[in-house]
Amino acid sequence: MPVPPVTPSRPSPAATNPVRVWDLPTRLFHWALLGGVVALFVSGKVGGNAMDWHVRLGLAAGALIAFRLVWGLVGGRWSRFASFVRGPVTVWRYLRGQLPAPAGHNPLGALSVLALLAVLALQVATGLVADDEIATVGPLNALVPEDWASWGTRWHTGPGQTLLLVLVGLHVAAIGFHGLVKKHNLVRPMLTGDQALPADTPPSRDSALTRLAALLLLGLCVAGAVWVARLGG
Ligand code: HEM
Ligand code: HEM
């Protein structure tokens, strides 16, 4: 089968307009998650009194991840999983330069988003059952069988944190590669919300109403995290 012509990965500037791709809730989610994960690593390594903050921040990260999973179903067009999660064939064609970079996450970037969210969710879940055998015990530790708790603690302090560091490293390296080599700044849209795209690209909804809905959803996720924290008594 003949290979389809390589489409330029970026449209010419004359044909582009600023289009809203990342709604405000998605942007705030991202930068809050970044701050939270850094603080979680620092507090986890410092230990001692910092562990009280570690547990609170861990629950907050859990609430943020739950928010993002639901926002991936009901949020702005380009934040929805259905708009960016693609099968292996599309990823392969994108890697071979046979597909233009779409609005929002590209097919490979989408995989890294899913991997980051999954590994973070596992880190929160294992934190909930972890026990450092000094002073800090996850709120669900006493509610699960002992071997789950010890597996969870081992994962949380071993492969879980290593995998997260590797994924974050790849994530930052990929963004640097796009900026420096492909001259495609991905950070600016994550700050301003807008990306230069063909003018007929449909934007993500980002109105006062959708922002209010996001706030209510986040409130529910925080309430869920508080409820989980109290389950252990
Ligand atoms: C602990 C560190 C970090 C974590 C856990 C993290 C996590 C994530 C996640 C989950 C997404 C998907 C966003 C969504 O659709 O909701 C994302 C996207 C993004 N992140 Fe990060 N991030 C981190 C650090 C950074 C840093 C340091 C930068 C900038 C230098 C950055 C820039 C971006 C950009 C530009 C995107 C959008 C990529 C695209 O256009 O496809 N991130 N990040
Ligand atoms: C994304 C979220 C999280 C990250 C990135 C994270 C990261 C870490 C790190 C780096 C450590 C230190 C491991 C070491 O000693 O080398 C740690 C320890 C610990 N974390 Fe988390 N954590 C997260 C969420 C949570 C949550 C939600 C809880 C509980 C509610 C929790 C409870 C604990 C406990 C009990 C320890 C001590 C375990 C031990 O030393 O045996 N963490 N965490």
> What residue spans define the domains of the chain?
20-197+216-231
Cβ contacts of 9-15, under 8 Å, gap ≥ 24: 9/97, 9/100, 9/101, 9/182, 9/184, 10/100, 10/101, 10/184, 11/100, 11/196, 11/197, 11/198, 13/196, 15/198, 15/199
Ligand 2 centre to CA of 131 (Å) is 9
pLDDT tens track of the chain, all 233 residues?
A: 444 444 444 544 446 899 999 999 999 999 999 999 999 999 999 999 999 999 999 999 999 999 999 999 999 999 999 999 999 999 999 999 898 888 999 999 999 999 999 999 999 999 999 998 888 999 999 999 999 999 999 999 999 999 999 999 999 999 999 999 999 999 999 999 999 999 899 999 999 999 999 999 999 999 999 999 999 77
- 44's CB contacts (< 8 A; 6+ apart) are 51, 54, 161
Q: Which ligand is nearest to the CA of 162?
A: 2
**Which of 29, 51, 54 maximizes ligand 2 atoms within 8 Å of its Cβ, making it the mutation to test the pocket?**
54
Report the nearest atom of ligand 1 relative to the CA of 68. 16
Whole-prediction pTM value?
0.92
CATH number of 20-197+216-231: 1.20.950
Q: From residue 15, give the alpha-carbon distance in Å to each of 102, 178, 197, 200.
A: 15, 21, 8, 10
Ligand 1 centre to CA of 50 (Å) is 26
In this structure, what DSSP letter does residue 8 have?
P
